């Protein structure tokens, strides 16, 4: 039943008409809150809609768009078997093509700042995921815990750069050796490269895709979590 419900939610987000009810004013790009009607009952599903038309150009991300990289991050999370990113799809909305992501109701009582500096195993997976996608903006506020305690990461529009630009608040595993399970996940990405490439080609440039698999290969070669390069600020500002 849970799987069927998840499928119905994803189909509703992909196909139902989006109604905009608000805007996240703190976001630097157009980030709109809305909902879609469920395809199976009278309920509605809350979503975040980020239209490409509302993106501000970035000097260091001259290729593609933020929305497509948001979707690519979701796809990679699924390919890694982690499901750390809420369901995200590229589709038409009231203001044109954009990324539409399932809204996560968070646990307001949870101490996210303390948690972000812990060595929680799910947080460790997030750190590995960020290293793979070359996330340049892993802030504390981009980590979410829902009411069931499940961890999610959001705001991946500035990821997948071909140059090493990893910026994150999750450096507590730097230079630590990978666990066997982590090596297996990375190795599987290389094994399934052709399939993954075909799914990412509509979302990322050939340069970004090539760099992605280059990073994965280097991570496996080094066998450990990366450390700050010293050539780029290690922590995003502001960190929250």
Domain of 202 in residue numbering reads as 2-222
**How many distinct structural domains can be found in the chain?**
1
Do 6 and 35 meet the contact criterion of CB atoms below 8 Å apart?
A: no
pLDDT digits (tens, 9 = 90+) for 190-226: 999 999 999 999 999 999 999 999 999 999 999 999 9
Residue 230 domain-assigned (yes or no): no
What six digits make up the tokens of 147?
């009411």
* 175's tokens: 């230079």
Dihedral of alpha carbons 143, 138, 174, 233, sign:
negative
**Tens-place pLDDT, residues 24-57:** 888 889 999 999 999 989 899 999 999 999 999 8
Question: pLDDT at residue 3 above 80?
Answer: no
* 239 is a domain residue: no
Domain assignment of residue 238, yes or no: no
Most confident of 17-31, 59-73, 168-182: 168-182
pLDDT of residue 1: 42
CB-based contacts of 212, cutoff 8 Å, min separation 6:
76, 132, 133, 134, 160, 200, 204
Give the per-residue pLDDT at 108: 87
What is the model's pLDDT at position 224? 98
Angle at 164 between CA 209 and CA 99, to 5 degrees: 50
What is the helix (H) or strand (E) element at residue 91, kind and residue range?
Answer: strand 88-93
Question: Does residue 140 belong to any structural domain of this protein?
Answer: yes
Residue-level pLDDT at 140 = 97
**pLDDT for the residue 6:** 79
Cβ atoms within 10 Å of 129's Cβ, excluding its own? 23
The two counts, helices (H) then strands (E), for the chain are 7, 7
pLDDT score at 4:
62
- Let me know if residue 227 belongs to a domain: no
Tell me what pLDDT residue 218 has. Answer: 98
């Amino acid at each position: 039943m849970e799987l069927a419900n998840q499928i119905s939610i994803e189909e509703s987000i992909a196909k139902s008409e989006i109604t905009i009810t608000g805007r996240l004013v703190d976001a630097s790009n157009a980030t709109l809150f809305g909902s879609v009607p469920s395809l199976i009952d009278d309920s509605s599903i809350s979503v975040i809609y980020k239209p490409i038309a509302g993106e501000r150009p970035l000097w260091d991300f001259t290729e593609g768009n933020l929305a497509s990289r948001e979707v690519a991050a979701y796809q990679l999370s699924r390919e890694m078997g982690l499901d750390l990113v809420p369901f995200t799809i590229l589709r038409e909305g009231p203001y044109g093509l954009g990324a539409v992501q399932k809204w996560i109701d968070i646990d307001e009582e949870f101490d996210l700042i303390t948690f972000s500096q812990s060595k929680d195993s799910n947080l460790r997976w997030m750190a590995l995921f960020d290293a793979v996608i070359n996330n340049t903006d892993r802030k504390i506020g981009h980590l979410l815990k829902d009411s069931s305690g499940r961890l999610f990461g959001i705001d991946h529009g500035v990821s997948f750069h071909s140059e090493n630009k990893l910026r994150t608040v999750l450096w507590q595993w730097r230079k630590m050796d990978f666990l066997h399970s982590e090596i297996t996940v990375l190795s599987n990405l290389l094994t399934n490269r052709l399939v993954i490439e075909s799914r990412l080609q509509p979302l990322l440039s050939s340069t970004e895709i090539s760099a992605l698999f280059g990073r994965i290969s280097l991570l496996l070669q080094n066998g450990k979590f990366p450390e700050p390069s010293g050539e780029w600020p290690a922590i995003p500002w502001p960190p929250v």
